[in-house]
């Protein structure tokens, strides 16, 4: 089964981000707005049980992280993807790095860039039009991330939460 590890922003921030995604993101209906901490990977039930133990340890040792989002950026020319840039914070890099040790399956396809995707799989013309108009917007969002989620993909492509890990919670 395919799994991933993500952090969802608060509902008000998700609503704001969805105002862009519903028009431009082909994955809008598949998963809410999120910050990907670990890209999708394959794992069986035994491996997931091991990972859950490790993820509980990571959550225990993590403090809530305030994030700031204040601009639209792009992965072009690699892909025609637009995203809201999450200002880099060492805590985010450290959190993602903990999920890329030898205890976890899969490796990084790309360097970790804290972001929330708002448009993807665009044609060149769509990309130019959307980026031109959306990059002019004044975006000032702040949120606190206090948990992350192990998610898995259903047969219809939708991602759903398998388990949530709250920062600083003493898991037994």
Which residues belong to the active site?
Answer: 34, 115
CA–CA distance from 84 to each of 63, 88, 110, 131, 148 (Å)?
23, 12, 17, 12, 19
Compute how many other C-beta atoms are within 10 angstroms of the C-beta atom of residue 11. Answer: 9
**Coil, strand, or helix at residue 59?**
helix
Handedness of CA 108, 117, 123, 73 (dihedral sign): negative
């Amino acid at each position: 089964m395919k799994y991933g590890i993500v952090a969802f922003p608060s509902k008000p921030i998700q609503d704001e981000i969805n105002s862009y995604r519903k028009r431009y993101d082909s994955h809008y209906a598949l998963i809410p707005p999120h910050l990907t901490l670990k890209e999708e990977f394959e794992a069986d039930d035994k491996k997931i049980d091991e990972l859950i133990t490790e993820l509980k340890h990571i959550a225990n040792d993590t403090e809530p992280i305030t994030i700031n989002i204040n601009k639209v950026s792009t992965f072009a020319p690699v892909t025609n993807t637009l995203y809201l840039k999450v200002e880099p914070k060492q805590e985010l890099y450290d959190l993602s790095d903990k999920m890329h040790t030898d205890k976890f399956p899969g490796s990084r396809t790309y360097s970790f860039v804290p972001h929330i995707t708002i448009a993807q799989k665009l044609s060149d013309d769509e990309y130019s039009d959307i980026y031109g108009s959306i990059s002019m917007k004044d975006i000032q969002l702040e949120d606190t991330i206090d948990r992350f989620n192990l998610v898995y993909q259903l047969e219809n492509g939708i991602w759903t939460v398998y388990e949530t890990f709250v920062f600083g919670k003493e898991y037994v």
